Amino acid sequence: MRKRLATTLAALGFLATASACGDSTTGAQGIYMLLDTSGTYSVELQKAQQVISAILTKLGPGDSFAVARIDTGSFSEKDIVARVTLDDRPSVANRQKRAFLLQVRRFVRELKPAAYTDITGGVLQATEYLDEKRASRKVIVIYSDLKEDLAKGYLRKNLRFKLDGYRVVALNVTKLRTDNFDPRLYMGRLKLWQGRVRQGGGEWKVINNLENLAELMPE
Amino acid sequence: MSFDKVFLLVPNPVVSGMIWFVILSVFLYMARLPAQRMILALAGALYRGFRIASKSILRAERSFSLRNREVLFAHGRDQKEREIAREFERIDAAVQRELGEVPALSRRVNEEITRAQEDHAKSGEVPPSPPGWIDAVKAVAKIDSRGEPVVGKILEVIHGSLVKAQAAATEEYRKATQARHKHLSAMMPRIRKLDQTLGQVDANVNTLLDKSKLIDRHMGHYESILRQSDAAMRALATSAFTYFAIAALVLTIAIFGAGINFRLIARPMAEMVGGNVIVGGLRVSEVGALVIILLEVFMGVFLMEALRITNLFPVIGSLKDSTRVKLAWACLFLLTMFACIEAGLALMREILVRDEAATNAFLRGGSAAAIAASRESFRWMTTAAQMGLGFFLPFVLAVVAIPLETFMHTGRVVFGTGVAAGMRATAALLRILGSITRALGTMLVHLYDMAAAPWLTVEWLVRRRLPAAAGGPAWKLRKDLDAHFEKEAA
């Protein structure tokens, strides 16, 4: 507390000049969560609600949060299930959080599994959304088994992401039946996505234990 | 080229080492005079440099201490003048209050004395003497009445009349005595009242005398400050250190109080100014809370100035009394407004905390209403406590002006004394360094001689056989050097 007070007092002197110069920033963060709704993964979505609740608990005024589904073609705003930018006022922000969670619950209840999984399109949509928000910290959460399955006509090959300043977290990457036969498939998927994210300039992280959600948004 | 190739002049390393020693000692012997002169010159230069630096610092310290002394006396004089002025104001008030009643008291005393005198005069009146015909009646009563019934009857009548007159006189005497006693009884409370009144006058006068003694003591201190005596300076310095420590302690506590206040209002400020814009590493709501707290402190400072409790801004103290009083009221009003705002913010904080708890419970999947209701029974206590803190902390912070003034005034003295002590320590350290450098120089010269000892011994043996003048200028220089060493050693 003492350190905080000292910082506070020191900042006061700075305040006059800083405010005069317009040197103000929003410390807001933006989080975009992609939910895999493919047939093999849709059973995991009940757990996703807990993750969304945990993220909402950590969000503060000014932060943006969107939840989108990954389906056949995810590079579309129509796939955004719920989105919110929390108000400056804490009381309004609390109301927004409650409304957001209700929207997600309704989505999970009424969900129909998708035939294909367009993760690349989802990530592109996420970068577009978060770039618009101009958040100082941007996180894309991919809640999926990372098995991309594109429908005919959807071209995603050799698409490079622009992920400078992004943290991409793969959450609950479940192992498929084929992975059990050949674990190299699982590791190959992880390596592929890690490579794509790092190639785009982003930070890559995998969290499979949902008890470690604190690592999702480190202080 | 390796070290071995350079070092090993012959295959045997011991022999090589000895050859090297001989070469080096010969070189050292040959270069002895200029080398030792250089060492001594360098040591001397460093020694003189340190000495000069030490003296300069001591000179600066003296002037700094003198300035400190002036500041200390000026502050002490100012403080004492204020104390004396306040004592005079108190005496003036006491004179107005206590000696202003003296004419009334005097009148009351005179009245009581007059009444007592009257009572005394009345109590001194004698009862009327018995009638003058008593002797005649006594003579008639002695007449022999035997055989003279008429005379006997007359005598009986006379006797009866006499007894009646006696009884009447006795009764009248008793009444007169009773009346005297009444007067005397009435005198007692008046005398007591007189005693009380005089006692009060005496107490008032004694109070004034005590106050005058206090002023005498203050004046004694003041004169000693004006004389700038060492005793006064020591007393002032000791007081300054004590007050500085106390003020620092109180200010530290006040800072913690301000911290609590900050925590209390920073969160609800987000409801008013928003919570996500960051300026200089702080959220705007935190900056807003800080500004409110500092404004409260400023209001407190101005209030104390307007009440002439502190004297940080002489301009305020020298304002017209009416303006000053208006300023004090304005500051008090604003301070109260801030206190009310803070109480409101504290209430808002409690509401926000409840709302957040309910939201978190909802996010965790519980029933927000149930959780909120379960805590409702004791929430009012924390709400009341927070609102109370929010209301009273601004007034507590307002009083910070008093220790702040003491801290500022005594801080100058404490800082000055600390700097002077630091300068003295530096000067002493430089002197020590100078002495060490000189000793090192001498030591190096002796070490040099130790390295060239074999050739010096040969030289000494040769010198013993030659006359003193035979050596020429080189011998003379060496002799000078030896004299220098002897002087150094002494």
Record: contact B282-A11, CB cut-off 8 A? yes
Residue of A nearest to B279 (CA): A24
B84 contacts B219 by C-beta, under 8 angstroms: yes
**Chain B: nearest CA to A79, how far in angstroms?**
23
Q: What is the DSSP string of B388-432?
A: HHHHHHHHHHHTTHHHHHHHHHHHHHHHHHHHHHHHHHHHHHHHH
**Residue A50, both tokens:** 């807990």
**What Rg, from alpha-carbon coordinates, does chain B have?**
52
Q: Is the Cβ of B364 closer than 8 Å to some Cβ of chain A?
A: yes
A138 contacts A87 by C-beta, under 8 angstroms: no
Cα B438 to chain centroid, rounded:
48
Record: contact A23-B282, CB cut-off 8 A? no
Write a three-state SS string for chain A.
CHHHHHHHHHHHHHHHHHHHCCCEEECCEEEEEEEECECCCHHHHHHHHHHHHHHHHHCCCCCEEEEEEECCCCCCHHHEEEEEECCCCHHHHHHHHHHHHHHHHHHHHCCCCECCECHHHHHHHHHHHHHHHCCCEEEEEEECCCCCECCCCCCCCCCCCCCCCEEEEEECCCCCHHHHHCHHHHHHHHHHHHHHHHHCCCEEEEECCHHHHHHHCCC
**Res A27: pLDDT:** 67
Counted domains in chain A: 1
Q: Is the pLDDT of residue A11 over 50?
A: no
How far is it, in rounded angstroms, from Cα B459 to Cα B461?
A: 5
Q: Is the Cβ of B254 closer than 8 Å to some Cβ of chain A?
A: no
Residues of B in contact with A102 (CB under 8 A): none
Q: Please give the C-alpha separations between residue B367 and each of A52, A107, B371, in angstroms, as whole numbers.
A: 18, 21, 6
Domain with A159 in it: 25-216
Q: Please give the C-alpha separations between residue A80 and each of A58, A75, A122, B469, in angstroms, as whole numbers.
A: 21, 10, 10, 111
Would A88 be classed as within a structural domain?
A: yes
Record: contact B363-A53, CB cut-off 8 A? yes
**Res B431: pLDDT:** 93
**Residue B165, both tokens:** 């007159």
What average pLDDT does range A39-59 have in this prediction?
83
Tens digits of residue pLDDT in B101-113: 777 777 877 887 8
Q: What strands lie across the sheet with A203-207, from one edge to the other? A: A80-85, A64-70, A29-36, A137-143, A166-171, A203-207
A110 contacts A82 by C-beta, under 8 angstroms: no
Q: What residues pair up with A101 in beta bridges, in sequence order? A: none
Would A69 be classed as within a structural domain?
A: yes
Would A17 be classed as within a structural domain?
A: no
Q: Please give the C-alpha separations between residue B399 and each of B143, B296, B331, B339, in angstroms, as whole numbers.
A: 108, 10, 13, 14
Residues of B in contact with A63 (CB under 8 A): 276
Would A9 be classed as within a structural domain?
A: no
Side-chain half-sphere exposure of B399, counting CA atoms within 13 A? 9
**Res A12: pLDDT:** 46
Higher pLDDT, A165 or B483: A165
**Res B253: pLDDT:** 94
**Band (A152; pLDDT cuts 50, 70, 90):** confident
**Res A177: pLDDT:** 80
Q: Is the pLDDT of residue A9 over 50?
A: no
**Residue A80, both tokens:** 């955004």
Q: Is the pLDDT of residue A16 over 70?
A: no
Side-chain half-sphere exposure of B359, counting CA atoms within 13 A? 26
**Residue B359 is nearest to which of A54, A63, A97, comparing CB atoms?**
A97
Q: What is the CATH number of the domain that holds A64?
A: 3.40.50.410
Tell me the pLDDT of chain A averaged across its residues. 81
Q: Is the Cβ of A16 closer than 8 Å to some Cβ of chain B?
A: no
Helix or strand (DSSP H, E) at B99: none
The reply to whether ipTM tops 0.90 is: no
User: Helices B230-273 and A2-20 sit at what angle, rounded to 10 degrees?
Assistant: 70
For tokens 């190299």, the residue is: A184
**Chain A: nearest CA to B302, how far in angstroms?**
20
Would A51 be classed as within a structural domain?
A: yes
What average pLDDT does range A157-170 have in this prediction?
86
Record: contact B276-A88, CB cut-off 8 A? yes
Would A124 be classed as within a structural domain?
A: yes
Record: contact B362-A101, CB cut-off 8 A? yes
Side-chain half-sphere exposure of A29, counting CA atoms within 13 A? 18
Q: Is the pLDDT of residue A144 over 80?
A: yes
Tens digits of residue pLDDT in B23-42: 888 898 888 888 888 998 89
Q: Which residues of chain B have pLDDT under 70?
A: 1-3, 124-134, 137-138, 141, 143-147, 366-377, 466-479, 481-482, 485-486, 488-490
Q: What is the DSSP string of B178-210?
A: HHHHHHHHHHHHHHHHHHHHHHHHHHHHHHHHH
Q: Is the pLDDT of residue A182 over 80?
A: yes
**Residue B65, both tokens:** 């201490």
Would A18 be classed as within a structural domain?
A: no
Q: Is the pLDDT of residue A18 over 50?
A: no
**Residue B170, both tokens:** 């006795």
A87 contacts A70 by C-beta, under 8 angstroms: no
Would A10 be classed as within a structural domain?
A: no
**Res B428: pLDDT:** 95
Residue of A nearest to B351 (CA): A91
Instruction: Could you list the beta-strand ranges (E) of B204-309.
Output: 277-279, 282-283
**Chain B: nearest CA to A190, how far in angstroms?**
31
Residue B148 φ then ψ, to 5°: -120, 85
Residues of A in contact with B359 (CB under 8 A): 94, 97-98
Q: Is the pLDDT of residue A1 over 50?
A: no
Residue among A188, A176, A156 nearest A41 (CA): A176
